[in-house]
Structure 1
């Protein structure tokens, strides 16, 4: 078994796993902590790449950092396994700009939410480049910060690329086995508890069982289906990719502290601004606000906010049991539908929408909680609120995403008058929870990034670490001989050379070559070894 990591960022997963003749890509994440704006040559401003083309899928201006596909022959990859919607944002770069021709597997919610998050990125990229053309001054500090060491990057893909990419993904359900090209090798998605449709993957062959542990969550009191580790028990190899290594408040406690801060800000007459994604954690926070603040006004601003809120209410089978039970009451699984009917929840594609101005004029006297894209603070309408919005010291900017530290916010936006708060809500399993999972799974080998080596508890399993672009070979798995045989197609000219002695029963000695092409086994002979006529005597002994 061979393993290689292609991702730049620890939280933007992309790995290649080779099991026998089959090559699997595990996740295809996009680095979201760095963005760059390319300025065409000769415009008199500083750019990220002076010799870059002036046009591209998004006007040739915004660049992102995709995995290092050039470091691996991606055209040889048989399948891509996606764990959640955030780990498929680089997929259009693979399916539309390389020679990849394999299959992509993701759960149905992961596929739908992933496509919407891709669409949001495309829209935000377009608005980012348009604002930079009109007035680059407000972004000067941020542009300098993200350009350092960024390199050329990748031109952002287009909506057409997103649609083409989505057509190549096969939606699956939890515990639905999929047989791959090589006979006997199958992959099974297992609930990870991280988000709606979030999965871990089990790769089974007649010789070994490999568990890929992507971003997972054991946090209770949340909306997704809970984590399921039972199918992973007894795996020979456990691949750990993403763990909460920082010492932070538990997610539920951090959410409660955030809601208390929002409550005190609203009581003081200030607005609350929360840079966030349009799905996932947003559902839980809105539920808490609805419970604690019955008269709260909430505004979600994202090109896909309306869709993401509506979609969460129609995927009952992917939610936790307590929300599934509401169907039989009957009741709605989330409270944001009720808030919308009562006029307390508003969704807008952008602040430029006329409806946003009308809503604000009608409710300007009422303090509001704004959920705005993007958590990185480097693109999206959150930049408008931090630069142009008439701020007050009574307002609050609350950062909740653990992957984006607000340490440089004051430097990036020197005119910021809001109160700045940081409540990182990290839903990934902690090192302690990981230790319990490893104890239950009891693998022979553990494969993890070097940064997570200290989080792996001492056990009988051998721990192997990997770094970016490093190729790792795992030793053979110890265990009993496989109780199954792999079948192969025998070429006709080989059958012509078979001779079965009567005394030997239903077996015939054979001298041949075994080839594996595209995951299929074929028994054949080289041209110079092909028989000219059927043998009449005993066949020569089998050669190794």
Structure 2
């Protein structure tokens, strides 16, 4: 019986690196690592200037060195957030297999990696120089501009180099890695290695976000990465088919609303995710509109993709609907222009409402129209912004949370403008006195440290827009997992889900759905192994045959009586005609079903006739005569089946005992197998097939 082993190599809840093993096949699901970990956290001092505090440090190279990369067959990437360690793996380890990701995940992932290198490569001296070029007032506060950018790869950088000596990889490594990534589409099936198939389903979280299903010898394992049920955002909606046919489900992460100071309200957990996300985006938009109506300036701290696109779209539409002057939208990011273009050109990866705009024809987002009218500007850095001629007054600025220097600059400059403004200007709201800072990131630890840094002397509206599944969403999604037998979740999710399970947490029944499955937990560097058991399912060919017959009979359920046979290495099922109840079913006859009204499930009843070959070919029934009960029991015990020979019957018999029940093999003429349950029946058939094959 095959099994799957899962080991988590990432100590973080949101980022994943799962090493999975299916018999002799080994593969990786996601290569995520937070780009702002393994370094200091931002803390403001009593003067409002930034100081740093060391946090828990994990060197990803130490973690990756424990994996035998020569044995890893392939890598599956779910979304662009889970690609952080991929260049290091492909360029600096022994891994040589294929990597699979959707086209948007590949495009946005490259932007994320390149932006991380750019932010990391700005040394303290460069930051001061850039700030001085834009505003000489920064020279008076060099310490505030030098304690920047706590990133995974941060160290001292030479301004002529792309990355430092301690960086995990370079720009050339990123380019080489992207050439090794194979693009896949949603619902596309790939064969990374023989006997293994992988398929993607939309996760609903971001453009190109995918959940993977890995099929091995008829067993399907679903890997549910960062996902969302929210249908009010621009990505393609959640595809629940990833769970419907999977026997094993592995949830990679989930958000905890109570961990956010703004998301821990008791009532929030009862609000549908779609409504909750929409309310929080509207809250951000309302705050921005209140400032823009007074001709103020808005700073949105967020990456130039994801939820930021929805906020930008909603603000632009609200300004037009209120007939207000259009502000100058400025995006300060080394990759901002590319990421917004991807949103417009990858229309097939968007939600249905955005896709419909492509046929008008229109663009899904407002950025193209804003650019054509001269209201959208892109700056790679503060120094680049200093050379641009942009009208002052009403600005809507978007800055990455990693670019702490740019955040500091705008807040400091706008605060000084507000101080210099006269009371008359403030009263008439001429535009120089008012500004607002918005932030929506849901990386709680990093976001809260940044919030504390910005909040010193500033008004900040922090509305975490958490699009990820919560443990309640996971519980809800499992209602559609009709084939699930085992479910694996991270430890912090297991602690919540097991409360609605059995007393020992070993099984769970969700929402009165009438199905049961085993619930397992996995944790950092701990191996969790589960068996891929399909005893409760009939072979597909028999299942289809029975379903067609029941449809013809006009019945949804029936009790099926007949014989199972092992012939030519395949399990075959024959059942008797109602007019020949006293005769044994021939394997060459067309199967028939005897329906019984009022039954609730399909059951296989009666004895099982086992032959060693098909009629007219191969060994005949008489070839089984040389088997004795003792020999058969010995062969079964060698393959791990608890079998004993039984005397007192003609030609003897063999008794089998297993956890799912017991069975008796009567060896008079053909072998007749009497089983106490359907699960036992399939196990015995498989065991006998293995014994005959070995013999």
Range into which the TM-score falls when normalised by the shorter chain = 0.7 to 0.9
Counterpart for residue 440 of structure 1: 480
Counterpart for residue 380 of structure 2: 349
Contact (CA 8 Å) 2:454, 2:460: kept in 1 or not? no
- Rate the CA distance shift 1:145–1:22 in 2: closer, same or farther, 3 A: closer
Distance 2:149 2:363 in 1: 44
Distance 2:61 2:104 in 1: 23
Counterpart for residue 25 of structure 2: 22
How do 1:272-421 residues align onto structure 2 when only pairs under 5 Å count?
272-294=298-320, 295-353=326-384, 356-360=386-390, 363-365=391-393, 367-373=394-400, 375-376=401-402, 379=404, 381-386=406-411, 391=416, 392=418, 394-405=434-445, 406-409=447-450, 412=453, 416-421=456-461
Of the three residues 231, 241, 255, the one matched with 1:244 is 255
Contact (CA 8 Å) 2:486, 2:517: kept in 1 or not? yes
Question: What's the secondary structure of 1:29's corresponding residue?
Answer: coil
Question: What's the secondary structure of 2:35's corresponding residue?
Answer: strand
315-324 or 123-132: which moved more?
123-132
Counterpart for residue 561 of structure 2: none
Offset, 1:264: 1.8
How do 1:60-459 residues align onto structure 2 when only pairs under 5 Å count?
65=60, 68-128=63-123, 130-131=125-126, 137-138=143-144, 155-181=167-193, 183-247=194-258, 248=263, 250-294=276-320, 295-353=326-384, 356-360=386-390, 363-365=391-393, 367-373=394-400, 375-376=401-402, 379=404, 381-386=406-411, 391=416, 392=418, 394-405=434-445, 406-409=447-450, 412=453, 416-442=456-482, 443-456=484-497, 458-459=508-509
Offset, 1:483: 6.1
- Rate the CA distance shift 1:129–1:467 in 2: closer, same or farther, 3 A: farther
- Rate the CA distance shift 1:297–1:404 in 2: closer, same or farther, 3 A: farther
- Rate the CA distance shift 1:407–1:328 in 2: closer, same or farther, 3 A: closer
Distance 1:299 1:470 in 2: 46
Distance 1:410 1:322 in 2: 34
Contact (CA 8 Å) 1:64, 1:155: kept in 2 or not? no
Distance 2:125 2:21 in 1: 43
Question: What's the secondary structure of 2:389's corresponding residue?
Answer: helix
- Rate the CA distance shift 1:228–1:476 in 2: closer, same or farther, 3 A: closer
Question: What's the secondary structure of 2:91's corresponding residue?
Answer: helix
- Rate the CA distance shift 1:243–1:410 in 2: closer, same or farther, 3 A: closer
Distance 2:518 2:451 in 1: 45
Offset, 1:437: 1.1
Offset, 1:404: 4.1
Distance 1:506 1:66 in 2: 59
Instruction: Name stretches of at least 5 consecutive residues in structure 1 with no aligned partner.
Output: 38-45, 49-62, 148-152, 487-502, 508-540
- Rate the CA distance shift 1:425–1:173 in 2: closer, same or farther, 3 A: same
Distance 1:293 1:133 in 2: 36
Distance 1:413 1:261 in 2: 17
Distance 2:28 2:143 in 1: 41
Distance 1:171 1:144 in 2: 32
Distance 1:80 1:145 in 2: 25
277-286 or 266-275: which moved more?
266-275
Contact (CA 8 Å) 2:329, 2:397: kept in 1 or not? yes
TM-score, normalised by the number of residues in structure 1: 0.77
Offset, 1:430: 3.0
429-438 or 405-414: which moved more?
405-414
Counterpart for residue 492 of structure 1: none
* Number of residue-to-residue matches in the alignment: 467
Contact (CA 8 Å) 2:228, 2:238: kept in 1 or not? yes
Contact (CA 8 Å) 2:35, 2:84: kept in 1 or not? no
Offset, 1:381: 2.8
Counterpart for residue 162 of structure 2: none
1:153-184 Cα offsets, whole Å, 9 max, x none, are 96242111100110110001111101131x33
Offset, 1:144: 9.4
- Rate the CA distance shift 1:22–1:283 in 2: closer, same or farther, 3 A: same
- Rate the CA distance shift 1:408–1:282 in 2: closer, same or farther, 3 A: closer
Of the three residues 6, 9, 18, the one matched with 1:6 is 9
Distance 2:471 2:53 in 1: 41
Distance 2:97 2:142 in 1: 42
Question: What's the secondary structure of 1:34's corresponding residue?
Answer: coil
- Rate the CA distance shift 1:81–1:140 in 2: closer, same or farther, 3 A: same
425-434 or 330-339: which moved more?
425-434
Offset, 1:29: 0.7
Contact (CA 8 Å) 1:28, 1:67: kept in 2 or not? no
Distance 2:363 2:618 in 1: 67
Distance 2:62 2:387 in 1: 40
Distance 1:5 1:35 in 2: 18
1:326-358 Cα offsets, whole Å, 9 max, x none, are 2221211211111111122211111211x5543
CA RMSD of aligned residues (A): 3.6
Contact (CA 8 Å) 1:27, 1:82: kept in 2 or not? yes
- Rate the CA distance shift 1:285–1:143 in 2: closer, same or farther, 3 A: closer
